[in-house]
Amino acid sequence: MDLKTKLYQMFILGTEGDGYIQALEKGLGGMIFFTKDIQSKDQFKNLVSDVKSKALIPPFLSIDQEGGRVERTENIHNGKKYLSAKYAYEKGEDFLRNQTKEIALELKSYGLNLNFAPCIDVNTNPNNPIIGERAFSSNPDEVIKCEKIVSQTYRENGIIPCAKHFPGHGDANADSHLTLPEINLPLEEMEKTHIKPFASCAKTIEMIMVAHLHCTCFEKDIIPTSLSKNAISYLRNKLGFGGVIISDDMIMAGATHVALQHKLCQNLSNHSNSLAQKFATCEMGIRAGLNMFIYRNSTPETINIIETIAQKALTDKELQEKIEYSFEKINNLKSKFELINLLV
């Protein structure tokens, strides 16, 4: 398999823009589906089946289906069907386990294989605008207990779980969809509370999503943890996580914010060029140690980012090594869940 195909494996794209069709034929790693993609059971099953038929390599077929505020199947159910993490856990462990199984079986019935859940943020800030009821608890030990229940239930029912949002979004006072939140807590305090659930599951969870947060315990400069060598190295080396590290959606303002301010872009010949800035951000993520990226669209601009990196990697040994390493992680996970036989 050539390097470009392996690079395409590092991306999960949405349907907006229709570039995903060409990308699937080039080895795209996966697809993510949103509410707008899901109008009815039959329609969605047909969409997923069509994606599978076009894929050069069996893809991750993913969704954000936490329940409550983050639930993508509401058009099918004429509203929300599942409780958010907080309220599901308040009904007891058996309820949480049963609801998770119901979610898993529904996703499986559509042909999906990856859910970006559980959300294991510890919601310590009551004014947090983005987490709130998405968190199981404000107590890290309770969150750890819930993570074990939810992740194992997904595994048992053929859905890959993904713990999010490392190193913990629970103390944020802003929405990373709209800006880059800052968390100004010392590492020791982060470890006692927000990182604790990730440390607990690091040896068992298959995938971890890294947040677009500026955590000053990892970076003094304005760099989100999703693009931070220090944060990702901590996850790999200190916590011992051996699975796939994936970004949150790279279209979010928390990710694009850095492209406008980081010194990396000072070296670009055209600072105002949106593609150049977004390319620089994505390249920075690869060099920092991200294995996969989510882009909620598949516009020509997003496809061009991948193609530009592929071209640069031809003569860049570090990029080549990062792509090979990431492909190995992705390949191992797909093989574990029998999406593919091991590829070379």
What was the pLDDT predicted at 342?
Answer: 66
Cα(174)–Cα(177) distance, integer angstroms? 9
Within a domain: residue 342? Answer: no
Cα(59)–Cα(62) distance, integer angstroms? 9
Within a domain: residue 121? Answer: yes
Within a domain: residue 341? Answer: no
* Boundaries of domain holding 43: 7-336
CA distances from 160 to 58, 156, 244, 284, 294 (A): 14, 9, 11, 27, 16
Within a domain: residue 298? Answer: yes
CB 197 within 8 A of CB 150: no
Q: Which two tokens stand for residue 94?
A: 């058996």
Cα(70)–Cα(42) distance, integer angstroms? 22
CB 198 within 8 A of CB 208: yes
pLDDT per residue as tens, the chain (344 positions): 999 999 999 999 999 999 999 999 999 999 999 999 999 999 999 999 999 999 999 999 999 999 999 999 999 999 999 999 999 999 999 999 999 999 999 999 999 999 999 999 999 998 888 899 999 999 999 999 999 999 999 999 999 999 999 999 999 988 888 889 999 999 999 999 999 999 999 999 999 999 999 999 999 999 999 999 999 999 999 999 999 999 999 999 888 875 445 545 555 544 446 677 888 899 999 999 999 999 999 999 999 999 999 999 999 999 999 999 999 999 999 999 999 776 66
Place of tokens 């006072």: 173
What was the pLDDT predicted at 258?
Answer: 57
Within a domain: residue 268? Answer: yes
Q: Which two tokens stand for residue 286?
A: 């690869």
CA end-to-end span of the chain: 6
Within a domain: residue 2? Answer: no
Q: Which two tokens stand for residue 259?
A: 């492209």
CB 235 within 8 A of CB 208: yes
Residues designated catalytic:
177, 248
What was the pLDDT predicted at 261?
Answer: 52
Residue 62: beta bridge partners? 32, 114
CB 321 within 8 A of CB 5: no
What was the pLDDT predicted at 128?
Answer: 87
Cis peptide preceding 165, ω within 30 of 0: yes
Within a domain: residue 344? Answer: no
What was the pLDDT predicted at 271?
Answer: 43
**3-class DSSP state of 209:** strand
Domain of 332, CATH number, reads 3.20.20.300
Within a domain: residue 1? Answer: no
- Give me the number of domains the chain comprises: 1
Sheet with strand 114-115: strands edge to edge? 160-161, 114-115, 60-63, 30-33, 11-16, 292-297, 244-249, 207-210, 163-166
What was the pLDDT predicted at 48?
Answer: 98
What was the pLDDT predicted at 27?
Answer: 98
